Amino acid sequence: ARNATDDWYWAIDNVLLTGEFADLGGILFREDFESLAGSLAPVVANSSHDITGNAVTGTPSTGWTLDNSNYGSPSGCVSFDGWNFWDLLTWQSSLMDDREMFHRGRGVVALVDSDQYDNCGSTELMHTILTSPAIDMR
């Protein structure tokens, strides 16, 4: 990911939390967002975004929550209004700007792309929250 204070993006995939818990096999939490692959839909954005196919959903995986309610782009670019879940290859190939440099994800990834949000004509700062399910560390 780029510097969070500029207008680029953050991407998350293959979340894994490990620990020294023999009865749990060392894995406390795992998420790859692939459960969302069947719910990807067409991109909702303005004409500056020429993206085709089923590539994005605003519905998180079970147990995850997101809050994209603190802002909104004026031109109906809901696919870039905060955290969304994207087909990585579509996002990389359609938007360029070094997005192919994100190597550690595959399939569906959680993304917040403030550069594209800005390209939608937003005059508001982006405020968005993605929260994982509770993780039992006992």
**pLDDT 10s digit of each residue in the chain, 138 long?**
444 444 555 666 666 666 665 565 667 788 999 999 999 999 888 766 678 889 999 999 999 999 988 666 666 788 888 899 999 988 888 766 777 777 778 899 999 888 888 878 777 788 888 999 988 766
Enumerate residues 6+ apart whose C-beta is below 8 A from 26.
Answer: 18, 19, 20
**Which residue range(s) make up the domain with 72?**
9-131
In a domain, 113, yes or no: yes
In a domain, 106, yes or no: yes
In a domain, 138, yes or no: no
Number of folded domains that form the chain = 1
From 17, 18, 36, select the one nearest 111 (Cα to Cα). Answer: 36
In a domain, 4, yes or no: no
In a domain, 21, yes or no: yes
From 82, 77, 63, 59, select the one nearest 128 (Cα to Cα). Answer: 82
pLDDT of residue 110: 92
What is the tens place of the pLDDT at every residue in 43-64?
888 766 678 889 999 999 999 9
In a domain, 3, yes or no: no
pLDDT of residue 23: 62
Enumerate residues 6+ apart whose C-beta is below 8 A from 131.
Answer: 64, 65, 66, 67
In a domain, 136, yes or no: no
In a domain, 78, yes or no: yes
